[in-house]
């Protein structure tokens, strides 16, 4: 006689429970936005749901499903939840000269870093984290690179070629997980940059998050390490050097989005070494934006006047 496992039936949430869950998701997203669905999942662990164990993604899947429902039904703004995977490659196009001037006025940015001794960029482990960091990198005018796991050789080589066109010391702020793969990314990227740059690149690679101090605080949600990861042995050595448990890991989403953005902003600001020059260019940027606005206004008036003139006989 054969036996098979009995299916496990979990009680379905009532309508009231679903509405309560959505209200909690809204409150978390409103405070943390812009953020990823994974960040919201981590922010609710221990209070709204337990951390998924083993290979289960049950609670995370509920978060993703309900956030999708809420956005599609207009109960939460789309822009609160980031998705860095949508990449479009297309030249900028405009409906008219007036449209082009309007866009230029809105987006004009001076390269304020031209006045500083170092070039600054931000590298992160995933597209979802990139969406969380984008408001800060945009505000400070620095590049944001998403490694999407371990960066390809081509990806890093193209970055190095770009650096060498403007020979300047480079500081790269990195945001990634504290686990075997996450810790290997900055080492690998830094090593490739040094190799592809043939020793011509002055590189300072700074880990902004997750740091050993973050893990040491004991305030972040952890998970078991995959000991089969090819990078585990090196990770184990790093953890023991920091007096940390090598069997535990922390994903960057365990840090509150607001904390990540604040920490990154402070790190970037600290790299400005000539404040007077920065402020001078910043004032010039404002004046030039006003000039573009004036030009846009005059072109718009000229085009309206031209369209209202009677046709020549």
Print pLDDT tens along the chain (313 aa): 454 555 555 677 888 999 999 999 999 999 999 988 888 998 999 888 888 887 788 899 999 999 999 998 999 998 898 876 655 566 778 888 888 888 888 888 999 999 999 999 998 988 889 989 999 999 999 999 887 666 677 778 888 888 888 778 989 999 999 999 889 888 888 888 888 888 788 888 899 999 999 999 999 999 899 899 899 999 999 999 999 999 999 999 999 999 999 999 999 999 999 999 999 999 999 999 999 999 888 888 888 877 766 665 5
Q: How far apart are CA 25 and CA 70, in angstroms?
A: 9
**What tokens appear for 251 in the block?**
């994903």
Residue in the block written with tokens 């910043």: 282
- CA atoms of 288 and 248, how far apart (whole Å): 52
pTM: 0.79
Long-range contacts of 260-266 (CB under 8 A, 24+ apart): 260/129, 260/132, 260/133, 260/175, 260/209, 261/132, 261/133, 261/135, 261/136, 263/208, 263/209, 264/122, 264/133, 264/136, 264/137, 264/173, 264/175, 264/208, 264/209, 265/136, 265/139, 265/140
């Amino acid at each position: 006689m054969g036996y098979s496992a009995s299916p496990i039936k979990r009680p379905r949430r009532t309508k009231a429970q679903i509405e309560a869950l959505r209200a909690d998701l809204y409150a978390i997203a409103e405070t943390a936005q812009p953020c990823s669905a994974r960040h919201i999942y981590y922010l609710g662990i221990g209070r709204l749901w337990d951390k998924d164990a083993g290979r289960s993604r049950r609670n995370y899947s509920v978060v993703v499903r309900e956030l999708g429902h809420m956005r599609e039904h207009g109960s939460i703004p789309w822009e609160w939840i980031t998705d860095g995977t949508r990449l479009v490659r297309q030249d900028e196009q405009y409906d008219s000269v007036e449209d082009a001037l309007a866009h230029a006025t809105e987006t004009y940015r001076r390269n304020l870093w031209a006045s500083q001794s170092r070039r600054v960029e931000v590298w992160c482990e995933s597209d979802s984290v990139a969406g969380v960091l984008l408001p800060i990198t945009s505000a400070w005018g620095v590049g944001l690179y998403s490694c999407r796991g371990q960066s390809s050789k081509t990806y890093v080589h193209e970055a190095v070629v770009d650096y060498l066109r403007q020979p300047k010391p480079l500081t790269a702020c990195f945001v990634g997980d504290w686990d075997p793969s996450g810790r290997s990314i900055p080492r690998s990227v830094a090593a490739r940059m040094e190799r592809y740059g043939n020793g011509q690149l002055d590189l300072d690679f700074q880990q902004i998050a997750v740091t050993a101090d973050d893990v040491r605080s004991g305030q972040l949600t952890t998970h078991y390490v995959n000991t089969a990861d090819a990078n585990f042995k090196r990770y184990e050595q790093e953890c023991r050097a920091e007096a940390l448990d090598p069997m535990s890991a922390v994903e960057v989403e365990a840090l509150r989005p607001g904390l990540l953005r604040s920490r990154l902003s402070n790190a970037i600001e600290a790299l400005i070494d000539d404040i007077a020059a920065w402020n001078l260019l910043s004032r010039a940027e404002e004046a030039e934006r006003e000039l573009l606005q004036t030009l846009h206004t005059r072109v718009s008036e000229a085009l309206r006047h031209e369209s209202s003139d009677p046709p020549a006989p």
